[in-house]
Amino acid sequence: MAAKLFIVSAPSGAGKTTLVNAVLKRCHGLVYSISHTTRKPRQGEVHGRDYFFTDKAQFMEMVASGQMLEWAQVHENCYGTSGLFVQNQLAAGQSVLLDIDVQGGRQIMDSGLNPVSIFIMPPSLEILEQRLRGRGTDAEEVIRKRLDNAKGEIDQKSFYAHVVVNDVLDEAVAELIDIIDRETAN
């Protein structure tokens, strides 16, 4: 089994978090990289499980001291991946999954780490909008911004090696697991 670095990107509302959680439950050889963010926790989110919630000064200090493997500003907040965590896991023979945006995804693709890149597509923009609204966690202005951002992100899907359409959740989960199994088998 080869240790691989997986990047999963998607416009928000594509159902990526649900998909990734289902995959992590079934792929025991895969470890999730918990990102750092300056975003405030949503209801139910736990520090150290969903994200490491940090303030802007602390975040920028991590960037300045070279601790971030990649980082990006997404929807006015900063998000970044710890380089040490990823390198330690890969060195120990452990595959790692990064749930990151397209800007971060492109940085990892250019890093020489030879990632396996997967883009999750919503079935349509209409369904994406319904999902964003149905989540009920974000204000109208935030939803508008995320929809605009989604269009730009979808434009970048051609940089990704695999595209999975998240229409029927179980089928998308199976497709993702199949990609991971095939990539880690060689």
Cα gap 114→168, rounded to integer Å: 29
74 binds ligand 5GP (CB under 6 A): yes
Quickly list DSSP for 4-61. Answer: -EEEEE--TTSSHHHHHHHHHHH-TTEEE-PPEE-SPPPTT--BTTTBEE--HHHHHH
- Pick the closer one to ligand 5GP by CB: 1 or 159: 159
99 binds ligand 5GP (CB under 6 A): yes
Contact range with ligand 5GP by CB under 6 A, out of 18-26, 54-62, 78-86, 120-128: 78-86
39 binds ligand 5GP (CB under 6 A): yes
- Pick the closer one to ligand 5GP by CB: 71 or 119: 71
Contact residues: ligand 5GP, CB under 6 A: 12, 35, 39, 70-72, 74, 79-81, 99-101, 103-104
